[in-house]
Every structure is written in C-alpha cells, then in structure tokens.
Amino acid sequence: MVTIWWGVLGLLLGGYFALAGYDYGVGMLLPALSRDEAGQRRVLGAVGPFFLANEVWLVAAVGVLFGAFPHLEGRVFAGAYVLIVLLLLGLVTFTAAVQLRSRHPEGNRRGWTFAITAGALVTAVSWGLFLGNLVRGLPLDAQGRPVDDVLALFNPYAVLWGLGFVALFCLQGLVFLAVRGPAEIAGRVRRLTRSFLLPVGVFLVTATVWGAFSGGSWAALAVVAVAFAAYLTVLFGLRRPRLALPAIMLLSACPALLVGVLRFPVVLSSNAGYQLTVDQAATTPDMAAVLGWFAAPTLLVLVVVQWLTWRAHRRPVDEKSLLHY
Amino acid sequence: MDPLPIARLQFATTTTFHFLFVLLTLGLVTMVAIMQTRATLRGGEQLHRMTAFWGRLYVVNYALGIVTGIVMEFQFGMTWTELSAFAGDVFGAPLAIETLVAFFLESTFLGVWIFGRGRMNKWLHLAVLWLVTLTAYASALFIMVANSFLQNPVGSRMENGVLRLDDFGALFANPALVASLPHVIGAALLTGGFFVTGVSAYHFLKRTSEIDFFRRSLRIGVVTSLIGSVLVVQAGFAQFAEVAGYQPDKFKGSVAVGLPLGMMINIGFFAFFAALVGTLLLFRDRLLRARPVLILMVPGIAVPFIAAILGWLVREIGRQPWLVWGKLRTADAVADVSGGQILFSFIAFTLLFAVLAVADWVLLARIAKRGPAVAAAETELPVLSGV
C-alpha cells in the first residue's frame, strides 16, 4: 500500500516535470525566440491552454507528500531550506508573470517578460540543485536535522544538476514549440534545438558517471537506461516532433523518478548517515485509505480532462488561436 | 536569532496575502457563474459582456491566489516540521484533499473555461465554470476542515506521542467548523459583492454610457452583498457559542483578540446596513442617482478585506500559544532551520508578494476603470485574447 502511494507521488512529480518543464523552457527562451510583442504573445500562447493545468501537478504532488508521507515532508523541505525558498521565489515570479503579463492591452510588458525569463531560470536551477542534493544525500545530521551550512547545498554535483536542468528544460521547451509553436519561429527553434542537444547529453553522461560512485539500485539503473533511450529518441527523432516530444517529456520526468527509486525503500538519506525509510515516512493505513477515496477519482478526471485539452489544442498556434497569455 | 517569531511572521504574512486574494476569487466566481448561467439560459448580448468583463477581473485576481497558496503549502514543511510529524496522520488528509480535489481540479477547469470561450458548446462551457466554482468552494471547505482541526483537534487520539485518526467524519462535524465555514463563505460573497458594487458605482460617477451594463452589475453586486452580510453576521455570532465550547478563555481579557474582534463586528454591522440601504435604493433605480451613496461605494471595496484580516487575526491569535489546541505548542513545532535563513526567506517572500500584489491591484484597477467597451476592442488586435 505504502509502495503504491510512493508510486502515486512519483507519477505526480514525474507528470509535473514532463509538463511544466516545457513551460519553463519556453519562459527562459522567450526573449530569444521573438523580439516583438505579437510574436512573444504567440509563443506564450503555445503553452497557454496547458499552463494552469501543468503548474498544479506540483501542488498536487506536495499535497500527496504532506498527506501520505507527513514524516518525510518536513525533513526534506527544512533540510534544503534555502533551495526551496529559491525555488518558490522563481516559481511565484514565473507563474504570476505569465498570468498577468498580457492582461492590459496598453501596459508596458518588458518588466513582465523579464520576470518570466528570470523566474523560469531560477526555477530550473533550483530544481536541479534540489534533486542533485537528494541524489547525493542532503546535508542533514545523524538525527535528520538540517545542518546550518547553506553552502553545503551548493556542492559541485548539485551545481552540475542545476545547470543541467536549465539545458534540459530549454530543450524540452524547444521540442514542444516544434509541435505547437507558431510557424514563423520554426527556423529559430530548429537552430536553438541543435545548440541545446550537446549540453543535455553532457549533463546526462556526467551526472550518471559521477553519481555512480555514490551507489544505487537496479531500479535506478533502469531509470538511467530509460533516460538515455529517451535522449537518443530525441536526438534521432528531431524530424518527427510528435515522437520527440513524448521522449523529452519522459526524459524530464526521469530525474525525479531516479530520486524516488535510488535507495528505495530508503526515501531520504543524508551524507552523515541519516536514513528514513518509506514505512517510517508514511501515514497510517486508514488515513491513506481515506486519501485514496478522494485521490483516485480526482486523478482519473484530471487525466481525462487534460488529455481532452491536449487534443483540442494540438495544432500549432496560428492567427485564429485564442492566446490569452 | 530565535527562528520562532520570524517563522510565525512569515507564515502570517503569506496567509494574509493569500486570504486577500482567495476571498475575492470565491465571491467573484460565484457572481460570474450566475451571470453566465443567465446569459446561457436567456441569451442576450449584455449578460455575455458582463460575464466577460467580470470574468476578466476574476482571472487577474486568481493569479495571486495560486502563487501565494503554493508558498503556504510548502511552508508547512519548511518551517513547521513537527506539525506534519505530530499531526500529519490526521491533519494531512484534508490538506492533501484540498490540493488534489480542489486546487488541482479548479486550475484545470479554469484553463478549459478561459480557452473554451466561443469554441465549446455553450452548455459545456457553462458546466465547466460551475465546476470551477464548486471546486473553489470545496477548497474553502477542506482548508477550513484542516484549520478547524488545529483549533479543536477532534476525531483523533494520542498514541506514542503522535495524533492518530479515529473518525474522519468527526473532522467535518467539528464545532470549530460548523459556524466558521458559513462565516467565511459569507465574507467571500460580501467581498465580491462590494467589489462589483464599487466598480459599478465608479462608472456611474464617471457618467458612463454603459448604463444598462452597470445597472445590472450593480444590482447583482448589491444583492450579493446583502446575502453575504446576513450570512457573515449571523454565522459570526453563532461562533461565540461554539468557541465557548472548545476555547472557553479565548475572548477573556486579551486585547490582542478583543480589539480586532470589536472592529470586525462593527464593520460587519456597517456592511449589513450599507447593503440593506443599497438594496432599498434599487427600487426604481434610485441608487443610480444617489451620488453621495455611489461616492461611498468606491472606497467601500476595501472594507470587507479589512474585516477579513481582522477576523483571521481573532481566530489565529486566539489559538496561541498552541499550534494544535492543547496538544502541540507553536514553539515546539518550528523546524531546526536557523533564524538567519528564515529571516532571509521572510524578507524575500514579503518583498516579492508586496510587489506582485500591488502590480495585480493596479492591473485590476486599470481593467476595472477601462470598462467593458474597450475590453471588447482588444479582440481587434493582431492576437486574440480569451477572457
């Protein structure tokens, strides 16, 4: 039962990265993709219909983390405090700026555009730093309390992940735009895509080789294999964006899945030897059952509604598209 | 540096910002849903334009509700580590259900509504808006269930130093919930009603040419304010009997609780009489010519927000020093994060929220002032806009 909830959490977090990852990529590259206002609105309009739905996968994931794993939530957020703060600052700036940017027709939008780009960048870097730290082991003492050493969170391995996530989300945003972006930026998207392929590949190889020294499980090996397969599909499937897009979405979900299975059933470990298992982290079975009654139908409705949204807006943005953002 | 006061201040600030936005969200979405229902049933261009104009303001306000809500959700783990460890087995479920059922669904449906305008079957589009409304109310329900548990931890027992769930149903029959939920919903309707009334009054003061548009809006605003104020006052007083049962000493001699309480009650009565006078003046549209009343209605937009913050202070300060009443002290729940780090995040969050809130309100004011006519003209731009 506990394992199933761990899987639900993995599904929600994986879904969040698979979907919201391209929001951040598009956000980071917005000024590079189009200079004029109408063009930038069409770029934002590409993610528009999915934007709100994408972002709240994280809210749902944290809700399940709190509800199903109350003994993990506090440890992990307090343990990476500064990174979570950075993440939230980026996330809030980005999410608010996307929603408010185009709401007034005569308003000056340069500030909002900057907020979108900067917010998306901070979000991507913070996610990379956070997950990188989880792979390596959070800087907690032997009792699982955070050590008062902010710089420990910015260790070289985590910084590699921070930079890697920027490249990964940018590539994801570009592959997404190849499917749904406006026709006039297709050439620019292709050129930028080529320049991000190598950094993502370097990140994958370096993170794997470097991370292999800290050990892992067979399941982790499987996730890494899936990640490389997805990367190769993107690499050789660029001419078929509808194949490359699911592949890069899968690739973006892999880091979170890796963290989930790396030392399973240990779900949180520190570099000072603290370990928390999934059973210790979980809530009581009756509470999990209550949660299940609400979560199962909700997730079903969500997947159906979001799938229908995808189908309704699968064509590239053109002059007839509703843009809103 | 002691992390406790800063962590409390940080959570209080985040919650205050969140509350300011979600209250208006809940009130406005109800009115927009009613407008769109009438538009769909009877047809008529005017009601569709009203749905679009007030819906546009609703969507702008919604943005800040989302982002402050995300930060609140994370803060439970970031600074109140022991709360989830101690009470997570009971408190976690309503909070998780709130995010899953309400937040997640609400945003998904809202996206469908925004981008479905004019492109979906009109009945389906209406149903989507009602789903947004229902999930918003579900959100209020579950978050109040969670909050009421902190005020009065029912349905649970202590076991090995942590709280365990006995009866999930008891969380919904909590005396701390039964009167406070209608009180909060009344406050939301009042806030939305005063907002629509105030904006409409502004346009009459500016001698708008959209007389029919704002006459109808004003009616909806005034009537909603009346319903909201009756609910808020009635449920407000009903809480005294309930609170006496679970926090008997709450109102005894504490200035920190008594002062905001007195102010809130006065504002509540004022709002009720104002809404009553407004409703009486609706006969034969006398209100449209009563300029002194219209002038008062514009700054009146702020009044329910002030009352709401005061009410929230009464409820939460009255709970101290307990985080979970009688079970877990706030001081024992704070995380082992250093005071310096929490100070950094407190300053950063507060500055960011302040900038975004001001930007959001300026945007709301500009869109409200511009009125519906120009809003329609925006579709003439090279790119189309939704709501």
- As a whole number of angstroms, the distance between CA A234 and CA A230 comes to 6
User: Coil, helix or strand for A204?
Assistant: helix
Asked if B184 and B298 touch (Cβ cutoff 8 Å), the reply is no
Blockwise average pLDDT, block size 10, chain B, 387 residues = 90 93 95 95 88 93 92 90 85 86 87 88 94 94 92 87 85 90 95 96 91 93 95 89 82 76 89 89 84 90 93 86 87 86 94 95 91 61 48
Facing A71 at nearest CB: one of B68, B84, B338: B84
Task: With CB atoms and an 8 Å threshold, state whether B84 touches A74.
Answer: yes
Q: Does residue A110 sit at the B interface (CB-CB below 8 Å)?
A: no
Q: Give, for A308, the enclosing helix (H) or strand (E).
A: helix A285-312
Q: Does residue A71 sit at the B interface (CB-CB below 8 Å)?
A: yes
Rounded to 5°, angle at Cα A194 from A192 and A200 = 100
- As a whole number of angstroms, the distance between CA B153 and CA B142 comes to 15
Which residues on chain A are in Cβ contact (under 8 Å) with B71?
88, 92
Asked if A278 and A263 touch (Cβ cutoff 8 Å), the reply is no
Minimal-distance CA residue of chain A relative to B349: A89
Facing A309 at nearest CB: one of B112, B117, B374: B112
Q: Label residue B380 exposed, middle or buried (CB < 10 Å: 0-12, 13-18, 19+).
A: exposed
Task: With CB atoms and an 8 Å threshold, state whether A146 touches B335.
Answer: yes
To the nearest whole Å, the CA of A308 is away from the closest chain B CA by: 10
**What is the full DSSP assignment across B122-160?**
HHHHHHHHHHHHHHHHHHHHHHHHHHHHHHS--SEEEET
For CA atoms A133, A139, A144, A147, the dihedral sign is: negative
Which residues on chain A are in Cβ contact (under 8 Å) with B79?
78
Task: With CB atoms and an 8 Å threshold, state whether B111 touches A50.
Answer: yes
Asked if A189 and A197 touch (Cβ cutoff 8 Å), the reply is no
Which residues on chain B are in Cβ contact (under 8 Å) with A104?
363, 366-367
Facing B104 at nearest CB: one of A82, A96, A298: A298
Q: Does residue A298 sit at the B interface (CB-CB below 8 Å)?
A: yes
- As a whole number of angstroms, the distance between CA B338 and CA B178 comes to 39
- As a whole number of angstroms, the distance between CA A19 and CA B101 comes to 19
Q: Does residue A107 sit at the B interface (CB-CB below 8 Å)?
A: yes
Task: With CB atoms and an 8 Å threshold, state whether A53 touches B111.
Answer: yes
Sequence letter at residue B287 = L
Q: Which residues contact B127 (CB under 8 A, 6 or more apart)?
A: none
To the nearest whole Å, the CA of A223 is away from the closest chain B CA by: 27
Which residues on chain B are in Cβ contact (under 8 Å) with A148?
338, 341
Q: Give, for A99, the enclosing helix (H) or strand (E).
A: helix A81-100
Q: Which residues pair with A277 in a beta bridge?
A: A266
Q: So what's the pLDDT on residue B385?
A: 53
To the nearest whole Å, the CA of A198 is away from the closest chain B CA by: 34
Per-residue pLDDT of chain A (325 residues; tens, 9 = 90+): 888 899 999 999 999 999 999 999 999 999 999 988 888 989 999 998 999 999 889 988 998 898 888 888 888 998 899 999 999 999 999 999 999 988 877 767 889 999 999 999 999 999 999 999 998 888 888 888 888 788 888 999 999 999 999 999 999 999 999 999 999 999 999 999 999 999 999 999 998 888 877 667 888 889 999 999 999 999 998 888 889 999 999 999 999 999 888 888 888 888 878 888 888 888 888 788 888 888 888 888 888 988 999 988 888 888 888 888 8
- As a whole number of angstroms, the distance between CA B112 and CA B242 comes to 41
> Hey, which residues 126-145 in chain A have their CB within 8 Å of chain B?
145
Q: Does residue A261 sit at the B interface (CB-CB below 8 Å)?
A: no
Minimal-distance CA residue of chain A relative to B146: A67
Facing A96 at nearest CB: one of B64, B118, B374: B64
ipTM: 0.91
Q: Cis (ω within 30 of 0) for the bond into B321?
A: yes
